Structure 1
Amino acid sequence: MLGLLYLLLCFTTGWVICSFAFPGLIDITKISYDKRKISFSPYLLVLPIWFIIGVLALTWPVYLIATLFSGSQVALAFANAIVMPMALAGSVLVLYRRHFKQKQLPTPFFCEDSKIIRLEVFLVAGVTLLAGTLMWMTFYVAGSNLYVGVSVFSDFSPHIGMIRSFSYGNNFPTAYSHFAGEDIKYHFMFQFLVGNLEFLGLRLDYAFNIPSILSFVSAFLLLYLLAVKISGKPTIGVLSCLFFAFRSSKSLFTYLADMPKGSNIIRELSENTSFIGDTPNENWGLWNLNVYANQRHLAFGLAVIFFVIIMFLPHLYAMYEELRRKSFEYSIRSINKGITTKGLARILEYPLVYYLKALFFTKEAWLVKDYKLSVASGILLGSLSFFHGAAVIGCLLILFVTAILSKRRLELLITAVIAVVLTVLQTRFFIEGSAVKPEYYFGFIADNKTVFGVLSYLDKLLGILPWVLIVAFCFEKWIRRYLILAFMIPLIFSFTVSLTVDVTVNHKYIMMSCILLGIIAATFIGRLFEKKDVLLKALGILLIIALTATGLYDYSTVIRKNRLENPIILDMNSPLTEWVIEKSDAKDIFLTSNYSINQFVLGGAMLYQGHQYYAWSAGYDTNYRDIMVRRMYEADTPQQLEELVKKNNIRFIVIDRDNRESLEYSLNEKNIRNTYQTVYEEGDGEWKISIFDTKLPVS
């Protein structure tokens, strides 16, 4: 009950903040960027942004207050007891003032066009169904078992560990559950949100799936609004959401082409449970909808990106209209004076001179008219850093390019400065040393890291999308051409810069670009359907099929994979998990095998060295700990073991079948048993699991 109340307070708190920070929010749903009237139901904007802002506004105070009470075993209880009543009181007070004392009318939820309402209902229902399928199929509780889908269990290993380290382990100040004892380099706040919801009484799958679904739906609805404001047409918004959900790629077509002659195509397609693709790591499901089931915090970050872009694109359009109007007026004046060779030259030369002056040497180009927008957007972006850091970087890259040709440029600069300052402050609070190590790295994960190799990689990965964009660039207005360039920046960044040791994580920047560029592709294809030519309409249909076929098949693969292949099953009532929860907290470090996901992880155990990939890709020195793990398990004498245990702050040592069969070291189980007392055991023989408490030496 308290968990649901917390989520409700997220919406009401978001409403309160938006009332002050974004007072004209409803107005942006009335006209497109080029001043055309649009039909758009305001609830499709306000509910998503109330949720996003409310989550950030509530979750950070809860976390910070819990950190202040970190010495207490009920830190989260104190934090929620302070924050939730304050949020409730604030919401009630604002509601009373605005709707009872000041008699303000409530926000209209629906537009006046019944056809558009039906379209929106169809969109919301479809996206919600899509989200529900992805989230509940890959993570759910049935009976006393927790089922984790095979397409997500890898990333869920540290995610579940982090969630349980908050809901049961008092992980303040925060450490990484798969590399305990050091700082936290991974953006973990979405996992903290889930852990807090479980602490407040929501069952683990509800605590994880409900905010995941809300984030997913919010991202789609905000993208829908962005597309409608750019194109002026709701149908283009729906098409943009379709391209968001189902990626463009050649993968399906090459998969079909590579089938041996005589193959039963329908049977092959219906029985396949592997993600298809011709580029590295595509078999991970790196580019399709599985990403949003696997990395639940990604959709939350995308929603913030779309909202910030929605709020600042009017500055770009205002400059575009100003340049177009002034250039036209000057040309008319020159023509009226009589055209001469010299005069014609002046007409052709003047726009460039004027553009430079208007862009960089006028008051309007730099003037700040809305400090609220700048400051609120900066705080919003900065607050996102440890929910999804890549989303902050991607958004700032797009804003930077947008600002070059925008009016009121200082507003974007203020937003960027606040976001960067807040990010740096959080980084210094959580991370020892540098959070990222930027370096030039050309080629991303393409096999051939040359210009032509990258072009070949993009051709395989993105299918016909680049070609559609190239044609659109040739025929669209200048403003949409510039949007193509702005939206491409995260993609360019991903192929030229590496921020971590694992450049594969740059795939999120490519996805950001493709989602936003899908709006331009949808706008261009929509124009084909406006023509009376049947062939152009048929071309539009073929383009839609080509742009979504692989993504649709990927979605069916996600369903088949998680339905036909055995999930990871964890016992919610496991005595081992309950022992970990009751007898340890986030300060107690477990020496174990390099666990991925198991009953220890479900208990929130803080692993000295979990599966190396997760910690390595986050920037931790896993090689050193591999050496320490080997030395502790191979220690010859109690004195040697004791010295290593103290050096590495180990509280519990676990021996199980993985240790006994390890190829990385030769387990000296006898020495461990002669050094520390056993505090938990289950199983027999090679399958026996034993836990030793290093605070209880053998007498």
Structure 2
Amino acid sequence: MLGIIYLLLAGMLGCEASKMLTGEGRSVSGINRIWLMLPASFGVGTLLLTWMVYIISWFFSVVGKAENPLLYGNIIGMTGAAVIMILLSVQKYRKQGSYRIWNIDKTQDKRRLKKEILLFGLLTVFITYMMFYVFYIKDGILYSGLTVYGDYAPHTAMMRSFSAGNNFPTQYPHYGGADVKYHFMFQFLTGNLEYLGMRIDFAYNIVSTLSLVGFLMLLYQLALRITGKMCCGVLALFLFFFRSGMAFFRFVWEHIQAGNLVETLEENTSFIGYTVNENWGLWNFNVYLNQRHLVFGLLMVTLALYLFMDWLEAGTAHEEKGILWIKNRIFSKEGWKSRNLDQALLMGMFLGLCAFWNGAAVIGGLLILCGFAIFSDGKVDYAVMAGVSIFFSWLQSKIFIVGSAMSPQIYLGFLAEDKTVPGVVKYLFWMSGVFFLGLVLMVWFMRRRERAILVSFLFPVIFAFVLLMTPDINVNHKYIMISYAFLTIFWAWAVCSLWKGRNGQSGIQKTMGKILAIVLVISLSVTGIYDFVVIIKGNGPGRRVTVNMNSELTQWLEENLEKNDLLLTPEYSMNEVTMSGAMLYCGWPYYAWSAGYDTNYRAAQAVTIYTTSDSETLKKTVQQEKITYILFEEGSEFEQQECREETIAAAYEKVYETQDGRIRIYKTTE
């Protein structure tokens, strides 16, 4: 119940903030404002309240030395939000003689509104089902699908470090005892909701559903604003779920030749793909099921894009042509004069506060807004917005990260095996089919406004093929996914235009247009549809990782380990140990390595501890690495080397053993 109250308070707080951000009562012709305000209220309110609770909890833990800092954080934060709401309502009541949380937009299209309610109602049911399909608890057992559990491992560990622990100052559970280099606020929110009494699967799935539905509402609104057609908004959502690519066509052709197509389609439970790591599911809906914090960031980014469409539309509405128009956008007073500085400041702050919710989304959003700025009037507002956003991002990095947050370097070609221009073109064709390459042709048939938007949406793709921000180049796929999500609008527009046809066309021409539209939709979505089938099969019965949520081992770790204790374990991913929220010395190395930690060093030290026969070497290494507990599991290995217990057992006191004798824990300090 407290978790629901938290989300309601966040929504109410966000509603008031969103009115200031978007301009209360302001509407765009043909667009029902409710689908802007609902996601904006959730996103902004959740952002503000969650940061408030985190900062207060941090203060009580670090400064006040409180053992239960979330208690104070939630009491003060939620009470503060309620007081703010009461003061605002009293102020508005005195000013207006009445007060409503939400003013009904009288200009709304009621006929379209009914269709939109049905659309988003069905969408919410579908997304909720999918979230619970891959992550749920039944009879005390947590089930996590095989295509997603790898990402859930570090995320659930971070959640439990807050709900079951005292992770202030915040550390990364799979690389404890150091700073936190990975964006964690979405996980903090979920962990806090579990702390407030909401079961972890409900907390994670509800927030994920609200984030994804909210983002799709804004994507639909953006499509409607760009194209003016509801069918384009609906089709853009369809193309968002089911990606374009050549993998299915090639897959089918190969198995037709082999004579086993039907059996393979029925039995296959792995993602298909012929480009590097495409079979990881890098490009399909699975990304949004396992990287759930990405869509919260995209929600805030899409809100910013929608608001800054005002600036872009003003800039592209001028009648000058060619070089003169470009010159006036860059070298004229009108091109730089501020239009709405308050809105730019607020949006910059909100985007900046998203840096530790999902940094990739913020970078992708700023790249698109950079494209908007080139073609817009009011460039001062863009500069202010970007400056404020970068400042808040920098401030968080200085607080949470020791050293540099990122180490950008030139890395041309992304995952293309051939890094030349022809090689990249070939890669894009096999990876996405006509999706990206076809836009090059499409742009010539567009007006100035649409052309400016499309080019801006491509900026994150260009970034992905030029710069490397983390040790793992695969992470750049998020920038391509960000561009992909927004570019679906233009393919939806192309399909709808072909289907409708133009005035003056003959019946045969219109029929041919409809056929071409159907062929285009199939080519743009069939690979994604098959990927979705694989998601369903690959996370079904017998293909789920399970964790006992009532484990005595988990309970013992929660009760006995302090916030600064460091636990050495085998290279665990997601199990009863990680669910305790304990700080692991070196968990599954990929998670920490891809976030920028030196896992090779710790792996070498862990191997020494687990394999040495010299007690002095053992004690010296343990003391040097500040390890307070060592967990030994029967038959376990570390970096493919068998773990030994004799030296550890002789040097330290055994403080815990599971009933089956499989796991034993040794304390290294008195």
TM-score (norm 2): 0.95
The C-alpha deviation readout for 1:638-680, integer Å capped at 9, x for no partner, is: 3332221111111110000243x55644544122111111111
Aligned counterparts, 1:106-121, within 5 A: 106-108=102-104, 112-121=108-117
Equivalent position amino acid for 2:633 in 1: D
Who is 2:33 aligned against? Answer: 42
Equivalent position amino acid for 1:27 in 2: R
The alpha-carbon distance between structure 1 residues 258 and 273, as it changes in their structure 2 partners (threshold 3 A), is same
- The DSSP-based 3-state class of the residue aligned with 2:190 is helix
Equivalent position amino acid for 1:419 in 2: S
Who is 1:341 aligned against? Answer: none
Moved more, 308-317 or 359-368: 359-368
Which of 591, 597, 605 aligns to 1:620? It is 597
Who is 2:652 aligned against? Answer: 676
Who is 1:436 aligned against? Answer: 406
Distance in 1 between residues matched to 2:452 and 2:205, nearest whole Å: 38
The C-alpha deviation readout for 1:166-185, integer Å capped at 9, x for no partner, is: 11110000110000111100
Which of 553, 575, 581 aligns to 2:530? It is 553
1:583 and 2:560 are equivalent in the alignment: yes
- The DSSP-based 3-state class of the residue aligned with 1:132 is helix
Who is 1:151 aligned against? Answer: 147
- The DSSP-based 3-state class of the residue aligned with 2:559 is helix
Who is 1:688 aligned against? Answer: 662
1:27 and 2:26 are equivalent in the alignment: yes
Aligned counterparts, 1:205-604, within 5 A: 205-261=201-257, 263=259, 265-322=261-318, 324=319, 327=320, 351-352=321-322, 354-531=324-501, 533-604=510-581
Distance in 1 between residues matched to 2:126 and 2:478, nearest whole Å: 20
Shift of the alpha carbon at 1:622?
0.6
Distance in 2 between residues matched to 1:477 and 1:663, nearest whole Å: 58
Distance in 2 between residues matched to 1:120 and 1:683, nearest whole Å: 56
1:59 and 2:81 are equivalent in the alignment: no
The alpha-carbon distance between structure 1 residues 666 and 206, as it changes in their structure 2 partners (threshold 3 A), is closer
The C-alpha deviation readout for 1:572-627, integer Å capped at 9, x for no partner, is: 11100111111114311111111111100111121100111111111100111011
Shift of the alpha carbon at 1:353?
5.9
The alpha-carbon distance between structure 1 residues 353 and 543, as it changes in their structure 2 partners (threshold 3 A), is closer
Distance in 2 between residues matched to 1:59 and 1:380, nearest whole Å: 13
- The DSSP-based 3-state class of the residue aligned with 1:314 is helix
Distance in 1 between residues matched to 2:639 and 2:282, nearest whole Å: 30
Who is 1:342 aligned against? Answer: none
Equivalent position amino acid for 1:678 in 2: K
User: How many residues are treated as equivalent by the alignment?
Assistant: 658
Distance in 2 between residues matched to 1:278 and 1:539, nearest whole Å: 27
- The DSSP-based 3-state class of the residue aligned with 1:27 is coil
Q: Percent identity?
A: 39
Contact 1:43/1:110 (8 A) holds in 2: no
Shift of the alpha carbon at 1:114?
4.4
Q: Which has the larger radius of gyration?
A: 1
Who is 1:14 aligned against? Answer: 14
- The DSSP-based 3-state class of the residue aligned with 2:593 is helix
Distance in 1 between residues matched to 2:66 and 2:534, nearest whole Å: 46
- The DSSP-based 3-state class of the residue aligned with 2:572 is coil
Which of 172, 195, 199 aligns to 1:203? It is 199
Shift of the alpha carbon at 1:636?
3.0
- The DSSP-based 3-state class of the residue aligned with 1:242 is helix
The alpha-carbon distance between structure 1 residues 172 and 354, as it changes in their structure 2 partners (threshold 3 A), is same
Contact 1:41/1:110 (8 A) holds in 2: no
TM-score (norm 1): 0.91
Which of 131, 135, 139 aligns to 1:135? It is 131
Who is 1:649 aligned against? Answer: 626
- The DSSP-based 3-state class of the residue aligned with 2:668 is strand
Contact 1:223/1:237 (8 A) holds in 2: yes
RMSD over equivalenced CA pairs, Å: 1.8
Distance in 1 between residues matched to 2:578 and 2:106, nearest whole Å: 45
The C-alpha deviation readout for 1:113-151, integer Å capped at 9, x for no partner, is: 444123212320232133113210111010111111111
Distance in 2 between residues matched to 1:429 and 1:116, nearest whole Å: 47
Unaligned runs of 5+ in 1: 32-37, 328-350
Distance in 2 between residues matched to 1:377 and 1:73, nearest whole Å: 36
Distance in 2 between residues matched to 1:15 and 1:113, nearest whole Å: 21
Shift of the alpha carbon at 1:478?
2.1
Contact 1:365/1:406 (8 A) holds in 2: yes
Distance in 2 between residues matched to 1:663 and 1:428, nearest whole Å: 33
Unaligned runs of 5+ in 2: none
